[in-house]
């Protein structure tokens, strides 16, 4: 009997009703469960790299709070035993619609205090496989496992105006919920048993029930939400049929149910099981008398509940913002009335790549021969500077297809794939992760993680990668050369003084050397990197390879002449980009010393990838300008501080200059693709 899938993710962002701003209760839960977590970590033993996953991490401050606590526990243990601190590979998992962007923007500051920790985001349901076999030492999950993968069909869940189990619920409703939890939790255990090493640990905290009676008082909070929905029906704001067809995908099991499911599934042994209570309002103290303002507390609990439930309710009931606001006003009212009588408690849970593909294919083939039986069971690969468009997963598909062909030729078993998608913390990882479920339908043996951070710093544990890929990223510098006078230009042109070229060349040398050095620590001996970036076909740095940026400079000068931007703003801006010559690249690789150049090739693509000899120059100019805007807008706005209408006008001028150029000759990007083998 197929159930009904329900949208479940917390409110994104940092607004008043966001999960990030309304998750202090969950922090209280994490703190209460900390002794159990500490005991589990002690029993894991010493590791050079502790691989751990936080399942259902959500997007608030608690996400990294948990990881910090684990690292502190390990630090204390290492001090006691006088042993070396391990590295930490941390996987933060939640559903693809979770606000990973919000988490990843916090990573740089987190890394300042935890330099030996490497964080990845893993989009997907924990009711499906998420990680390679035997790859984890520790799994943590707080306030997530009470959420079911689905609820029973509507015609099986007639529940008398209730959204969960209450004293007026028919027995079959209770049975349906119990059956779904049994199925989900068993599935969870079976999947994790494949991913966790023998002797590894899981620490799971979720809402539960103190007694076997499924009709106990633990449902009171949800019954009050049902009452609020009924209020809206009476006012004509919600249809009765909508309430009748909604059941909350949630279940609070009792301790005996949990232990029985663990025993029946058979992969784990219960080490510790504890039960504890926290107040509905976590700010409340433990006194029996009401020492807080019930109205304030009702609003606080309603706001916390809204952060968790809003997206699911809106998806089903299809009501607008004003109705959502009113629903939670009613909910706050019902909570207040309840709190005036008694205190409540919670029971504690996704053309250049294609051209470079032959080099990538050759690198993978050579890994087979160099590493011998490689791949043994899991190919660990990273795509650095993955961005967030459709090309992100296109690259991974290509790699998997290449390996599949090779395995077919060698009659060997396909490995699993651990794929890390890396870009800066402000990259739109949310968009990538929403594509992961459909990607997994075709690639069931691949496990994808998002890794926020600059590739000019360490991103992964030592010797953890077999293959690194990067396309159209390494021409971006970590920073632009500062305080260089460049005659109204934003990059190197024929009118640039010699010191401009020297400053850019030096910055690229520093950056690329640093990139090679940090990757050499992360890639196994015999592992490969395949890097594609914009370059030069000739040693002359003043050639026509940067015409597209000359034309962008002209567009800025147009705006200066019209009084729309200040001359000083242009004088102080240098485009953080460099197009190296092939010999420069090879020299840096040789000087750094960690890699051998296996292959280096040079190729060109048209500015307009759709281009042919009959293309309309004006249409092409607009297309190229739009592409450049997607790449450069945020950087330009940050420096020039202009509004939307000026940005629009800038790129209109840019499209015009591009079209004029294209009427005379076609524009081409020169590209370098290099394959490097780790010594």
Kindly give the pairing relationship between strand 595-606 and strand 49-55.
Answer: unpaired
Separation between Cα atoms, residue 94 and residue 327, nearest integer Å: 27
Residue 517: both structure tokens together: 């050095």
User: Are 492 and 543 in contact, with CB atoms under 8 Å apart?
Assistant: no
**DSSP element (H, E) containing 670:** strand 668-678
Question: For the whole model, what pTM was predicted?
Answer: 0.74
In the prediction, which pLDDT does 260 show? Answer: 94
CA angle 246, 250, 256 (to 5 degrees): 140
Boundary-marking domain end, from 137, 156, 177: 137
- Most confident region among 65-74, 116-125, 430-439, 620-629 by mean pLDDT: 116-125
Q: Dihedral angle at the C-alpha atoms of 27, 31, 37, 41, nearest 10 degrees? A: 100
**Is 231 part of any domain?**
no
Hey, is 637 helix, strand or coil? helix
Question: 22 vs 663, which has greater pLDDT?
Answer: 663
Give yes or no for residue 287 having a pLDDT over 80: no
Q: How far apart are CA 649 and CA 380, in angstroms?
A: 45
Does residue 238 lie within any of the structural domains? no
CA-to-CA separations, 500 to 164, 533, 541, 636, in angstroms, rounded: 68, 21, 11, 20
Which residue, among 6, 329, 323, 311, has the nearest Cα to 153 in the 3D structure? 6
Distance of CA 23 to the CA centre of its chain: 20
Q: What is the pLDDT of residue 665?
A: 65
Distance CA 601, CA 587 (A): 15
Q: Give the residue with greater pLDDT, 513 vs 616.
A: 513
H or E segment at 608? Answer: none
Q: Identify the CA nearest to 273 among candidates 618, 20, 39.
A: 39
> Which range has the worst mean pLDDT, 50-54, 116-120, 268-272, 297-301?
297-301
pLDDT above 60: residue 373? no
Per-residue pLDDT band at 196 (split at 50, 70, 90): very high
> What pLDDT, on the 0 to 100 scale, is given for residue 376?
62
426 located within any domain? yes
Strands 49-55 and 136-142: parallel
Could you tell me which residues come within 8 angstroms of residue 519 by beta carbon, excluding any fewer than 6 positions away?
A: 468, 529, 594
Q: What is the pLDDT of residues 235-263, one digit of tens each?
A: 888 888 888 888 888 888 888 999 999 99
The confidence score (pLDDT) of residue 189 equals 96
Specify the pLDDT at position 611.
57
Closest C-alpha to 257, from 318, 336, 347, 167:
347
CA dist 582 and 257 (Å) reads 65
* Residue 527, domain member (yes or no): yes
pLDDT of residue 275: 74
Give 452's strand partners: 423
Q: Is the pLDDT reported for residue 592 higher than 90?
A: yes
Please give the average per-residue pLDDT across 128-141, as a whole number.
Answer: 92
- Do 473 and 575 contact (CB within 8 A), yes or no? no
Distance CA 610, CA 620 (A): 9
Choose among 480, 464, 568: nearest CA to 521. 464
Peptide bond connecting 566 to the previous residue in cis, omega within 30 degrees of 0: no
In whole numbers, what is the pLDDT of the chain averaged over residues? 79
Q: What pLDDT does 218 receive? A: 58
At 4, the pLDDT band (50, 70, 90 cuts) reads very low
SS3 content of the chain, % helix, strand, coil (to 5): 45, 20, 35
Number of separate domains in the chain: 2
Q: Last residue of some domain: 85, 120, 137?
A: 137
Q: Facing residues of 421 across strands? A: 383, 450
Query: How far apart are the C-alpha atoms of 519 and 439, rounded to whole Å?
Result: 27
For 387-442, write each residue's pLDDT tens digit: 876 778 888 888 888 888 888 877 888 899 999 999 999 888 988 888 888 889 88
Question: Cα–Cα distance between 231 and 229 in angstroms, integer?
Answer: 5
Most confident of 130-134, 426-430, 643-647: 130-134
* Closest among 431, 405, 530, 552 to 99, alpha carbons compared: 431
Mean pLDDT of 585-613: 80
Flag whether 165 is in a domain.
Answer: no
Q: Which residue has the higher pLDDT, 229 or 593?
A: 593
**Confidence (pLDDT) at 626:** 80
Task: Report d(CA 130, CA 418) in Å as an integer.
Answer: 10
pLDDT tier, 281 (very low <50, low <70, confident <90, very high otherwise):
low
**Residue 127's domain is classified under what CATH number?**
3.40.50.150
- 3-state SS, 282-314, equals CCCCCCCCCCCCHHHHHHHHHHHHHHHHHHHHH
What DSSP assignment string belongs to 222-236? HHHHHHHHHHHHHTT
Q: Is the pLDDT of residue 186 over 90?
A: yes
The model's confidence at residue 646, banded by pLDDT at 50, 70 and 90, is confident
User: Domain range holding 34?
Assistant: 27-137
Percentage of the chain with pLDDT > 70? Answer: 80
What does the pLDDT read at residue 542? Answer: 66
Least trusted range by pLDDT, from 374-383, 409-418, 471-480: 374-383
pLDDT average, residue stretch 647-666: 80
HSE of 249 in the Cβ direction (CA atoms, 13 Å)?
A: 23
The residue from 137, 166, 189 where one domain ends is: 137
Beta-strand runs (E) in 406-462: 416-423, 446-452
Does pLDDT of 103 surpass 50?
Answer: yes
pLDDT band at 41 (very low <50, low <70, confident <90, very high): low
């Amino acid at each position: 009997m197929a159930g009904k899938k329900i949208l479940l993710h917390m409110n994104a962002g940092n607004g008043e009703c966001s999960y990030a701003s309304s998750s202090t209760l969950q922090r209280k839960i994490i703190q209460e469960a900390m002794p159990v977590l500490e005991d589990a970590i002690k029993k894991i033993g010493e590791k050079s790299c502790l691989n751990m996953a936080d399942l259902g991490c959500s997007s608030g401050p608690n996400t990294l709070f948990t990881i910090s606590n684990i690292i502190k526990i390990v630090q204390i243990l290492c001090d006691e035993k006088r042993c070396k601190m391990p590295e930490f590979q941390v996987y933060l998992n939640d559903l693809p619609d979770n606000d990973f962007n919000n988490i990843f923007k916090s990573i740089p500051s987190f890394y300042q205090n935890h330099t030996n920790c490497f964080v990845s985001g893993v989009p997907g349901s924990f009711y499906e496989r998420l990680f390679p076999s035997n790859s984890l030492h520790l799994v943590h999950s707080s306030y997530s496992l009470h959420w079911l993968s689905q609820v029973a069909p509507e015609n099986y869940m007639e529940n008398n105006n209730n959204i969960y189990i209450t004293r007026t619920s028919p027995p079959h409703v209770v049975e349906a919920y119990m059956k779904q939890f049994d199925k989900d939790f068993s599935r969870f255990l079976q999947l994790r048993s494949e991913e966790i090493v023998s002797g590894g640990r899981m620490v799971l905290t979720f809402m539960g029930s103190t007694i076997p009676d499924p009709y106990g008082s633990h449902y009171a909070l949800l019954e009050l939400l049902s009452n609020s929905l009924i209020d809206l029906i009476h006012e004509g704001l919600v249809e009765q049929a909508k309430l009748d067809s909604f059941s909350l995908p949630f279940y609070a099991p009792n301790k005996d149910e949990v232990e029985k499911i663990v025993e029946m599934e058979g992969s784990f042994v219960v080490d510790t099981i504890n039960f504890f209570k926290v107040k509905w309002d976590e700010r409340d103290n433990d006194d029996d008398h009401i020492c807080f303002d019930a109205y304030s507390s009702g609003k606080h609990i309603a706001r916390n509940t809204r952060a968790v439930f809003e997206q699911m309710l809106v998806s089903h009931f299809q009501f607008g913002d004003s109705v959502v606001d009113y629903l939670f006003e009613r909910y706050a009212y019902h909570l207040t009335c309840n709190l005036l009588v008694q205190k409540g408690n919670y029971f504690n849970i996704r053309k250049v790549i294609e051209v470079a593909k032959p080099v990538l294919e050759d690198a993978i083939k050579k890994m087979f021969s160099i590493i011998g039986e490689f791949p043994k069971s899991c190919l660990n690969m990273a795509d650095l500077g993955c961005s967030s468009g459709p090309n992100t997963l296109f690259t991974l598909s290509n790699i998997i297809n290449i390996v599949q062909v090779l395995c077919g030729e060698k009659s060997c078993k396909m490995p699993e794939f651990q794929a890390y998608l890396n870009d800066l913390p402000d990259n739109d990882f949310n968009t990538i992760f929403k594509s992961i479920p459909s990607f997994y339908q075709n690639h069931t043996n691949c496990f994808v993680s998002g890794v926020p951070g600059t590739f000019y710093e360490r991103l992964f544990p030592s010797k953890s990668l077999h293959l690194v890929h990067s396309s159209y990223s390494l021409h971006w510098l970590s920073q632009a050369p500062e305080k260089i006078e460049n005659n109204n230009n934003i990059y190197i042109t024929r009118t640039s003084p010699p010191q401009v070229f020297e400053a850019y060349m030096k910055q690229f040398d520093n950056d690329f050397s640093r990139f090679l050095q940090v990757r050499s620590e992360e890639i196994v001996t015999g592992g490969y990197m395949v890097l594609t970036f914009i370059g030069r076909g000739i040693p002359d740095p003043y050639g026509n390879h940067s015409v597209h940026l000359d034309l962008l400079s002209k567009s800025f000068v147009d705006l200066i002449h019209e009084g729309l931007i200040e001359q000083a703003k242009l004088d102080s801006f240098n485009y953080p980009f460099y197009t190296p010559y092939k010999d420069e690249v090879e020299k840096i690789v040789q000087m750094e010393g960690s890699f051998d150049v296996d292959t280096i090739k040079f190729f060109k693509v048209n500015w307009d990838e759709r281009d042919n000899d009959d293309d309309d120059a004006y249409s092409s100019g607009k297309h190229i300008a739009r592409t450049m805007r997607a790449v450069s807008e945020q950087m330009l706005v940050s420096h020039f501080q202009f509004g939307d209408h000026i940005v629009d006008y800038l790129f209109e001028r840019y499209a015009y200059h591009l079209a004029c150029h294209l009427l005379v000759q076609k524009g081409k990007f020169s590209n370098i693709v290099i394959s490097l083998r780790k010594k």
